[in-house]
Amino acid sequence: MPRRLTHLDTKGRARMVDVGEKPVTERECVARGEVRMAHATLERIARGATPKGDVLATARLAGIQAAKRTAEWIPLAHPLPLDAVELELTPDAARSCVRIEARVRAHGRTGVEMEALVAVSAAGLTVYDMCKAVDRGMLLEAVRLVRKRGGKSGEWVRPGEETPAARPVRRPRTRREPS
């Protein structure tokens, strides 16, 4: 039996889910995607020889910024204070693509799936934007949730997907004052 869509009310109208009574728990999501391109474009990215500058660094920052602003992109998403956003962009010569992975962590009443997916999407679109002058045929594809943990539903891992090991949430270091 399919689950009910939580973003629809009893009349089928879109609504923002009330999460006020849910407990605050640690949440983490990992999403991935790829930007496929001509091999020559990938080589230019790796050499830092694109007209607009450092593609991977700019895309990483775009992904982080987008994750923080997900509620502005996705109308029914809750604005969330994020604990951490990490993006890895890896050129893959064998597949002629840049692989993108976003990991988002928060302590909240709702998950961070959308934040991770938006981070991957924005990073991929930034790669496209920065390289479109040399390769308009690029494809942003396979944007997907790989893993989520936390909340009432616990952990979910995409079947058949190689998943990263769980990393502990980084705690801020306290600086010791000299005695």
Question: Can you tell me which residue has the tokens 């600086």?
Answer: 175
Of 54, 83, 129, 135, catalytic: 129
Structure tokens belonging to residue 147: 């893993």
Q: Confirm whether 83 is a catalytic residue.
A: no
Cα dihedral sign, 144-31-150-167:
positive
Report whether 28 contacts 87 (CB < 8 A): no
CA distances from 51 to 15, 45, 100 (A): 44, 10, 21
According to DSSP, residue 8 is labeled B
Neighbour-count burial for 60-84, b at 16+ CB within 10 Å, e otherwise = bebbbebbbebbeeeeebbebebbe
Residue 95's contacts (CB-CB under 8 Å, 6 or more residues apart) are: 34, 36
Structure tokens belonging to residue 10: 């009893």
Residues acting as catalytic residues: 129
